[in-house]
Structure 1
């Protein structure tokens, strides 16, 4: 399986067809079609459904999985290339997959220190949630993962991050719950909610909800509070999430009310235990230990 073919397969998917991808790649359409056909033969599956009028080609279920894996393979190859340097200086990329949190300011302080020492290192941030972050760590697509606890950290090295995020409810300023200083689990009964992915399975919030946990009206999930706030502004639902992620000033039309009893998230930064960190990632970890 050649990297060039995988890159061309990705281009076909992202350009919506062989013709458009061939133009972008500057190769002939028949040559690109033969590459895709050869990849299908090698894998023993059909990657595309052909003949759809709305689009020239459409991914099969196997094609969607292969697209995901092809992107991972190409990303790993690109990372390996970027990590190679002449030995005189540390360069390359540090990939950090992170849940959204104000605790990222601690990670940012380490990045500032890192850049001061090694200006040729680039930090790549990937916004995501628990299960996807751990998958990126396990697949080698992330050097570090910032994870909301509790999580089974047995296969990772980790450091706890100081502070945490008070949890609460983001809503329109004229919402009935905005009149109270706090929001209780009982208050959420029947309220359409946007919740962070995975939050209901964690001990912190599921324990806080108590008997009302099975009565939540969850209408959407998210991993970025800003995107959730756009839905809140349009009156779609209220959003459960950490404080301080979006503007909730009087001018914004939104307000945030903390939960009562108070509940806060706790986070840790993790890395794979059974594989050596690249030089750039080692340098970042050193900087992080210094700021903690």
Structure 2
């Protein structure tokens, strides 16, 4: 049994059981991977992957145990490779953070400012994508940490730790009648054209209306809060945004009223690969954002077998 064979197993699993995609990621040939997997299965005495007409269609029950063990073994191997570097050079290296627009724009600036100040030798890379895409980047090993709200898609290979809670507000142009609504209700909001934003935000906002049996007049769905606010200023409607996305100082001409009693909040999750190796400065980055997520808490959460669920804790 070779670590390379276990790496092949994990990469196939991470790529949706597509051997060709795994071969592309590993820069090797599909026949070569297939041969190594067959040798591993012959040594183990059972099939890791379920097949139909020689095509992989899933993971067998014992195969799931192989994946869990492979994750731990490869993570330990990575720790061994980095052990000397950890003790000799604790404040240098690189950290790639995948995040969404809202978090990059409104949640992370102070965290990044502090991190850059305390770790000037660390190369910090910020990648901006949707909640699903940022977790895909971490699952594929292209990013170390994903920071964003919970996506509708599950990621069994990741551990997601809850961080900042993001309540919602209604944002309107100064003088808009919605600002005088007391109490603020879903029926009152639904009287006006609505601009939504984001990915997880859209389904949570619209879900609140559906639950109440109300059909809102959504006229625009932007991918970021800044675009939504631009069109609110133009008088196209009102917006339902995370409260963190509004600043009385920066958003002159606009007003915000709390709507946390009407719409569910979004939780910011810090997503990491299970059983992964993190440098000390990565633990600090997480702790700067969520003080309750100490290195010991994060390490304890990361050490777990693959369980087939999304990993939210």
TM-score relative to the length of structure 1: 0.56
Distance across 2 between alignment mates of 1:276 and 1:92 = 13
What's the counterpart of residue 243 of structure 2?
A: 243
What's the counterpart of residue 197 of structure 1?
A: 198
Q: Name the CA shift for 1:182/1:272 in 2 (closer, same or farther; >3 Å).
A: farther
Whether the 8 Å CA contact 1:98–1:126 is kept in 2: the answer is yes
What's the counterpart of residue 104 of structure 1?
A: 107
Unpaired segments ≥5 residues, structure 2: 1-81, 293-313
What's the counterpart of residue 157 of structure 1?
A: 159
> Which deviations, in whole Å up to 9, do the C-alpha atoms of 1:234-253 show, x marking residues without a partner?
12232211113233469811
> Which deviations, in whole Å up to 9, do the C-alpha atoms of 1:36-69 show, x marking residues without a partner?
xxxxxxxxxxxxxxxxxxxxxxxxxxxxxxxxxx
Q: Name the CA shift for 1:113/1:252 in 2 (closer, same or farther; >3 Å).
A: closer
> Which deviations, in whole Å up to 9, do the C-alpha atoms of 1:181-216 show, x marking residues without a partner?
5532222325322212323665x5455324457612
Whether the 8 Å CA contact 2:167–2:260 is kept in 1: the answer is no
What's the counterpart of residue 72 of structure 1?
A: none
Distance across 2 between alignment mates of 1:251 and 1:205 = 22
Shift of 1:169: 1.4
Distance across 1 between alignment mates of 2:139 and 2:250 = 43
Whether the 8 Å CA contact 2:205–2:240 is kept in 1: the answer is no
Shift of 1:256: 0.9
Distance across 2 between alignment mates of 1:257 and 1:182 = 11
Shift of 1:128: 3.5
Whether the 8 Å CA contact 1:181–1:257 is kept in 2: the answer is no
What's the counterpart of residue 226 of structure 1?
A: 226
Shift of 1:121: 0.8
Unpaired segments ≥5 residues, structure 1: 1-83
Q: Equivalences for 1:1-292 in 2 at 5 Å?
A: 87=85, 88-89=88-89, 90-99=91-100, 100-101=102-103, 104=107, 108-109=110-111, 112=114, 115-116=117-118, 118-149=119-150, 152-162=154-164, 164-180=165-181, 183-199=184-200, 202=203, 204-212=204-212, 215-248=215-248, 252-259=252-259, 261-262=261-262, 263-273=264-274, 276-277=277-278, 279=279, 283-289=281-287, 291-292=291-292
Q: Name the CA shift for 1:217/1:161 in 2 (closer, same or farther; >3 Å).
A: same
Distance across 2 between alignment mates of 1:217 and 1:131 = 26
What's the counterpart of residue 71 of structure 2?
A: none
Distance across 2 between alignment mates of 1:221 and 1:114 = 34
What's the counterpart of residue 49 of structure 1?
A: none
Q: Name the CA shift for 1:121/1:249 in 2 (closer, same or farther; >3 Å).
A: closer
What's the counterpart of residue 9 of structure 1?
A: none
The DSSP-based 3-state class of the residue aligned with 1:252 is coil
Distance across 2 between alignment mates of 1:284 and 1:108 = 16
The DSSP-based 3-state class of the residue aligned with 1:215 is coil
RMSD value over aligned CA atoms?
3.6
Which one is further off, 146-155 or 166-175?
Answer: 146-155
Q: Name the CA shift for 1:198/1:109 in 2 (closer, same or farther; >3 Å).
A: closer
Whether the 8 Å CA contact 2:97–2:125 is kept in 1: the answer is yes
The DSSP-based 3-state class of the residue aligned with 1:244 is helix
Distance across 1 between alignment mates of 2:182 and 2:251 = 18
